Every structure is written in structure tokens, then in C-alpha cells.
Structure 1
Amino acid sequence: MKKIIFCLLLVLPSWVFAQIGIRTGANFANVTKASSINNSSRSGFHVGVLLSPSSKGIISSRTELIFSRQGYDYKTGTNTGNVNLDYIMMPQLMSINITKYFSILVGGHMAFLLNAKVDSSNGTSGGIGNDIMDLYNRFDYGYGGGVEVHPYKGLLVGARVNISLGNLYDPNSYANGSSPSFIPKIDVKNNVFQVYAGWKLGGTKKDKKKNE
């Protein structure tokens, strides 16, 4: 929580001169290098706010605060199930404005795990219950990029890929040194493909004059 508050304080000054917006959409999440659990993509959602400081050039910046539901489906022997991971993500992006209607976004993100639960077909989770927060690293980070279209006034439509660099599973978290069946035996990382729509709100007077 202290890390979240600190990051919010860092971006707070830019809010005063920023155009504010909202966005929401679908997640198609998975984890890398997890063949041992026959993992597959899991659908989720995300919703949040975006802040775009005023800029007249081809390059501008974007700060976002996003709630993102991710995870993966798995199959191990006779057991199938899914792992749900809820994150607060803070992407910091550079926007390359090709035209007023089309942009390319690239940058990095930090993420903080809020909730982790497993749902198994046989009703068990290796004796640890459904709440599995302690098995996962709370902090994640990575990079991403995508494209965005602005077809009408404040409307925006986009697609993005987020690739994590931090390890998902905490190997020191399991008491006897062996992980449950739904945890891959090697380091794995989050991958998320997002499609979304949103709306940019009025913004500052400077933004309004620029858009007139």
C-alpha cells in the first residue's frame, strides 16, 4: 500500500494540467513457460482512469491507473481449474501521435497484486484453501505497447499487449518446498492482451484550446 501511495504522489502534479479519461475492456491473459500445467488463456476484464498531460507535439505521455483481472486455466492429470489474479496496474506510456486519429503507445508498467484465488475441479488446492495470495509475488513490472484510434471527439478504441518481467510465483512461500499442482515448476511471467474502449473528458482550458 505504501508503494501505491508513493507512486500516486509522483504522478499527482501532472493531474492538474492533464486531460482525464476512462477506459474499460477485455483481458486475454496467460503465463509463459507453463507447459507442465497445460495452461491456457483466461478471459478477464480491466477498468480504470487515464491522464494525458497537455502536449502540442507528436510525442506525448500517458499515465494510467487500472484494475485488471488476469490469471490462467490449468490442467494437471485429472485436475482442472483456474487461477484468478487481481492487480492494480500503473502503466506509464509514451504516445506517438501519427495523426489526430491514430496513436502508437509504448512504455512500462508496475503492478500490485490485490487478490489471488484458485478454483479446482476436485475441490482441493493442495491443502492450502482457495486463497493463494501467499504463493505469489505482490509486486510485478514489465513493458507493453499497442495502438489506439480516436474516431470521434473523446472516444478512443485500442489494443495493447502487456508483458511482465517479474516472476509470478514466490518460491519461498510454500512451507515444505514443493509447490501445488497448479503452480508451474519453473519461473513464469504474466502476459496480457487487452482490447478496450474509453472516453477522454474535457481536460484543462489549455487542452480545449488546442483541440478547437
Structure 2
Amino acid sequence: MAWILYKRRAKVTQEIGVLQTELGQSTANLDFLRSQINPHFLFNTLNTLYGTALQENSERTAQGIQMLGDMMRFMLHENHQRQILLTREVEYMRNYIELQSLRTSTSPNISLETSIEDVVAERWIAPMLLIPFVENAFKHGISLKRKSWIRVTLHYEADKLYFDVYNSTHPKQELDLEKDHSGVGLENVRQRLALLYPGKHELLIRETPQEFFVHLTLQLSGTAQQ
């Protein structure tokens, strides 16, 4: 009996050792892959593509590459901060809308209207707080077969940000893999607002079979929270 227990224990110890070795190799491989995908390499590649597009007189392509690079820098350097300047959040949102405009500009049935004011005052906001509403509008409000529209407005006055997103909606396809996950991003934003801006925000969402409307009023601070 003692011999059997010893052999079983030795076998378990050996299996644990094999797993630890495999895990170490997997971690090393993951670190190696991460080291290969260097952000500076990606940015340099984008700069090269940007220069090539300009040489070929592809101004729209160059513009798209430049905006994509700006968005990547935002995601890499500012997305993980607790707060960023409102101007940077607005700039990221503008780049996103412009990139989407390049994709939908050839569709006559799609109307995109924006009125995004420049915010001169130095105000701070949690990153990626506004963009989910715009992403949701493009994800669920655009159809290449039906008339669609998106309207985005942003206004800042007296320490308050007023943000509206209004878009058409269309019946979800049965084969849409994400149809059961719609609203997850908005619920996440709702929770973040409740946690980060208690008593300092108002979020109204109205939905009908034909349209989706979001209104956000947010009181912002002139100093960054540490």
C-alpha cells in the first residue's frame, strides 16, 4: 500500500512539473509575441503607409491612416488613466466618427450629422466614457439596405457637458451573433457613471422600434483626480 501511494504521489508530482514547464513555455512564448508587436513598430508602419498614400495622391486613405494612428496612441497611452482632458476624449470621438464616415460615405441612404463644439476650458473626464454611445449608434443604427441616420451633438457650458446621440434602429438579423449582447457596453457605461459621478450626471435613454436616443448631462471638474 505504501509503495502504491508513493508511486501515485511521484506520478502527480511529475505531472505538476510537466504542467509548470508547459506554463512557463507558454508565458515565454506570449512575452515573445508581445515583444514582436511593438507599438513603435506599428506607429512607424502607419507613418510609412501615410507617406505612401500621400505620394500616390490618396488623400482620403492618408487621412484615415493618420486618424487610426491617433486612436491607437490614445488607446495605448491614455485609455488606462483615471482621468484625461475632455479635449482628448472629444478628439478620439471625432476621429472615430471620421473613420466611420469614410466607410459609409458611398451609401446615399446613410445620413450622418454632428455638432461637436470645441471645449476651451480645461476639464477632466474618465476616458472612454462618451465613445460607447457613438459606437452603439454605428453598430445598431446603420443599415446598407434601409435609410439610416445618426446625429451627435456635444455642448459644454457652466461646468456641464451636454451630450446627445440619436440614431435609427433596424430589426436584428436572426444570424446576428451579437444580437443578444446589445446594450452590454451601455450598461457598463451606466455603471461607471454611477460609480465615478454619483449625483453629478443624468442619463436618459429612449428606445422605440425605429429610433434610439441618448442624452447625457455630466458635471465635470477643472482638476484631475489622482
Q: Does TM, normalized by the shorter one, top 0.5?
A: no
Q: TM-score, normalised by structure 1?
A: 0.26
The structure where helix makes up a greater share of residues is: 2
The structure where strand makes up a greater share of residues is: 1
**Structure with the greater alpha carbon radius of gyration:** 2
Highest relative contact order (Cα 8 Å, sep 6+), 1 or 2?
Answer: 1
Q: TM-score, normalised by structure 2?
A: 0.25
